[in-house]
Amino acid sequence: MTAGMNQVRKRFGSYGFRSGPLCAVAVIAASMVGVIGAPAAVAADAQSKQWYLDAMRVDEIWKTSTGEGVKIAVIDSGVNASTPSLKGQVLKGLDATETDGTTNDYDGHGTTIAELIAGTGEGGGLKGLAPGAKIIPMRVAFKEFEEKHKTKTTFDSANAIRAAADSDAKIINFSGGSVFMHAAEKEAVEYAHSKGKLFFAAVGNTGDEANKPGYPANYPEVVGVAATDREGQVAKYSQHGEVVDIAAPANDIPGWCDETFTKYCDGNGGTSAASALASATAALIWSANPDWTANQVLRVMFESAGRGDDWKPGTVSNYLGHGIVRPNAAINRGIGKPGDPDVSPLTNERTTAGGSADVGAPSEEGAKDDGADSSPPKSGAEDDGKDKGKDTDTVAAGSAEDSGDDSQLGLILGGVAVVAVLAGGAFAVVRKRRTA
């Protein structure tokens, strides 16, 4: 193992935490297994590893919607707006760390998330699922950043969320979190909800360890996103429980190795990447239906999500929530009904704003502005194989009318996929935090 790879593993550990009691940002991968060459060679190689794009049938989706007209606030380590894939994609944001006043990415994580959402793929960079969307960066501090700059950013996550709520971003993505709930952050999340924002957050990468519910994903107003692999199986590291509302692909997705932006690294994107793809899915649906509210977009996401044939109506999985995102099913096959614009599908309660996001628009600046389940399902390729075929039931996803669509790799996104769950049932009818 080279010194460089040791450093990469350090930066891309699993769900890191701050030294303080507030928000720690989840790093993008549970493990890294290799480095993809220098920028000129990187690109095509990196794009070829975005297996989920073909599985989702993005060519069909992009004929209808690319996410145009939708802005997404990315609360993370900042965004490098000068990467080829993000040129022209990044708007003016906020430096909630209160250090240098820029939103430059000091880690590489935030730029990866931004590219997964809205990258154009130019220069061979990562292609975003919603390349027509725009990114508003909201920079917060990772533990290493705090230590290096000796910052006291006690309220940076709360301030970033409030700024996102006051922007014209329709969607907020927070690919990070902490096991600690904080009053200021909770109030900021509630404020964003009152402003009609659709908030996605990674549930965390310690599902095979402590599996403690994390925040902001665990707030009732936030959509907690779990991670799946190529086969549509829950990733073994993905946290589970009532915190999970929906799932998205995450394994074997490359990302920037570090703040030098010289190469992408192979590995698992973790729930960070899953959250990004859920946010991008919402952008695609919202762009195709601009008059919908956040509640309606999310309800269609839930109803169109990939599930097994044995998935009982009205139930929610502690591992996949309502299922795995399927933007093509929602956009081109019309699966899912928007329903009441003012009722939250998370809580079944009436909301105050219903999803409107009519506030002032930031300007484009570029870089210079700068509970029921006690055992987890097996996780396909990530599992060591010793339990396969013995402790799991295979549940086919989708219905007969979906057969044949998006069937590549047996992914649950298309309707003929499989999802592994433990025998004995992995679905909870009643959830303490949210209703099914």
> Hey, where are the domains in the chain?
3-368
Angle at 177 between CA 323 and CA 382, to 5 degrees: 50
Tell me phi and psi for residue 98, to 5 degrees: 55, 45
Q: Which 8-state DSSP code applies to residue 171?
A: E
Residue in the structure block whose two tokens are 């073909």: 54
pLDDT confidence of residue 371: 34
What CATH class does 3-368 carry?
Answer: alpha beta
The DSSP H or E segment spanning 421 is: strand 418-422
Distance CA 256, CA 259 (A): 8
In this structure, are residues 301 and 171 in contact, taking their beta carbons and an 8 Å threshold? no
From the number of C-beta atoms within 10 Å of its C-beta (0-12, 13-18, 19+), residue 3 rates as exposed
Q: Which 8-state DSSP code applies to residue 17?
A: -
Strand partners, 392: 422
Quote the tokens at residue 388. 């396969």
The number of beta carbons lying within 10 Å of the beta carbon of residue 261 is: 16
Distance CA 224, CA 201 (A): 5
Q: Enumerate residues 6+ apart whose C-beta is below 8 A from 369.
A: 92, 93, 102, 103
In this structure, are residues 324 and 247 in contact, taking their beta carbons and an 8 Å threshold? yes
Q: Enumerate residues 6+ apart whose C-beta is below 8 A from 410.
A: 230, 231, 232, 416, 417, 418
341: left (phi over 0), alpha (psi -120 to 50) or beta: alpha
Helix, coil or strand: residue 111: helix
Length of the chain in terms of residues written: 436
Q: Enumerate residues 6+ apart whose C-beta is below 8 A from 248.
A: 225, 226, 227, 228, 273, 274, 275, 277, 278, 281, 324, 325
Helix, coil or strand: residue 72: strand
Which pTM was predicted? 0.79
pLDDT in tens, the chain (436 residues): 333 222 221 222 333 323 333 333 333 333 333 444 334 444 458 999 999 999 999 999 999 999 999 999 999 999 999 999 999 999 999 999 999 999 999 999 999 999 999 999 999 999 999 999 999 999 999 777 777 777 666 789 999 999 999 999 999 999 998 888 999 999 999 999 999 999 999 999 999 999 999 999 999 999 999 999 999 999 999 999 999 999 999 999 999 999 999 999 998 999 999 999 999 999 999 999 999 999 999 999 999 999 877 788 788 999 999 999 999 999 999 999 999 999 999 988 998 655 443 333 343 333 333 333 333 333 332 232 222 222 222 222 333 233 334 433 334 443 333 343 332 233 333 333 444 4
Q: Which 8-state DSSP code applies to residue 91?
A: B
pLDDT confidence of residue 204: 95
Distance CA 99, CA 111 (A): 19
Tell me the CB-side half-sphere exposure of residue 363, using CA atoms within 13 A.
3
Angle at 177 between CA 224 and CA 134, to 5 degrees: 70
Tell me phi and psi for residue 191, to 5 degrees: -65, -45
Q: Enumerate residues 6+ apart whose C-beta is below 8 A from 413.
A: 52, 55, 56, 232, 249, 306, 324, 325, 326, 328, 329, 406
Tell me phi and psi for residue 350, to 5 degrees: -75, 135
pLDDT confidence of residue 154: 72
Task: Please give the order of strands across the beta sheet that includes 32-36.
Answer: 32-36, 264-267, 255-256
Q: Which 8-state DSSP code applies to residue 413?
A: T
Q: What DSSP string runs through 226-256?
A: EEE-TTSPBPTTS--STT--EEEE-TT--EE
Are β-strands 198-202 and 223-228 bridged in parallel, bridged antiparallel, or unpaired? Answer: parallel
Distance CA 39, CA 45 (A): 10
Closest CA to 272 of 85, 14, 78: 14
Closest CA to 103 of 84, 77, 126: 77
Closest CA to 372 of 429, 415, 294, 333: 429
Closest CA to 415 of 311, 319, 317: 311
Q: Report, as residue numbers or ranges, the catalytic residues.
A: 76, 109, 272
